[in-house]
Amino acid sequence: MSQVKSDINSEDMEATVEVHQNALDDLVNVNTLFTAVFNIEGNKQCEAGVRVARRLVKNEVISFACYLFSSLVAKSLKTHLFTYLLSQHTLEKINCKSSKGLRGTLFALSTSTSVIGGVLLLYSMVDMIQLRLGKIACKGTETLNAVGALMAVNILALVIYIPFVSHAIYKFTKIFDKLQEKQKLSNEN
């Protein structure tokens, strides 16, 4: 049985891992933006009630759990990628189906739970508006304006965020392939 020597250029590997780690850092940073705690004070006119307040708390807790889960998965993936720099990995091993699947799945899982957390936080902010300004069903101008602006901005953000992150996940699973192709060309010369 012949020994496989490491054919990976360490500078290329470091640059590739750094790209992945920066993308994951950005994801974790986005998650921290959405973990604020809010003070609840009801409005007596057209009051939303206890049910809405409880739903607000439930959605904020689940949202926080999603962000925490997303951040921990992203940090785990960063740690996994760092192991590529610590030990002698061949590009064949890094690009094997199970390794690519693991990286892609963890990135997608981290991203999707971040999006779910954002949607739940959006829903809890609608409840916060109802608690402070009155129920949406009462059609108060302030309530409708606040909810409309909140929904418009966040839906636009998700419409931008989801395709770009989906593209990044796709590229994320292919970046080591490019490193392998570069190495093959280098070996042929």
Q: Mind listing the pLDDT tens digit for each residue in 132-158? A: 888 888 888 888 999 999 999 999 999
CB 103 within 8 A of CB 77: yes
Is the pLDDT at 3 greater than 70, yes or no?
Answer: no
Core vs surface per residue 37-66: b (16+ CB within 10 A) or e:
eeeeeebeeeebeeebbebbeebbebbbeb
Is the pLDDT at 4 greater than 80, yes or no?
Answer: no
Confidence of residue 188 (pLDDT cuts 50, 70, 90): confident
Structural tokens at position 120: 């739940």
CB 126 within 8 A of CB 150: yes
Average pLDDT value over all residues in the chain: 81
Please state, in angstroms and as integers, the Cα–Cα distance from residue 104 to each residue in 2, 15, 20, 108, following that order. Answer: 31, 18, 11, 6
**In this predicted model, what pLDDT tens digit does every residue of 6-62 receive, in sequence order?**
556 677 777 777 777 777 777 666 666 555 444 444 446 677 888 998 999 999 999
Question: What is the arithmetic mean of pLDDT over 60-71?
Answer: 95
Q: Which residue do the tokens 């409309």 mark?
A: 148
Please state, in angstroms and as integers, the Cα–Cα distance from residue 136 to each residue in 39, 50, 153, following that order. Answer: 20, 15, 18
Q: Where are the domains of the chain?
A: 11-34+45-181
Share of the chain above pLDDT 90, in %: 33
Query: Which residue spans within 25-124 are E strands per DSSP?
Result: none
DSSP-derived letter for residue 87 is: S
Q: Which of 72, 74, 55, 39 shows the shortest CA–CA distance to 120? A: 55
Is the pLDDT at 63 greater than 60, yes or no?
Answer: yes
Give the Cα separation of 177 and 94 in Å (integer): 9
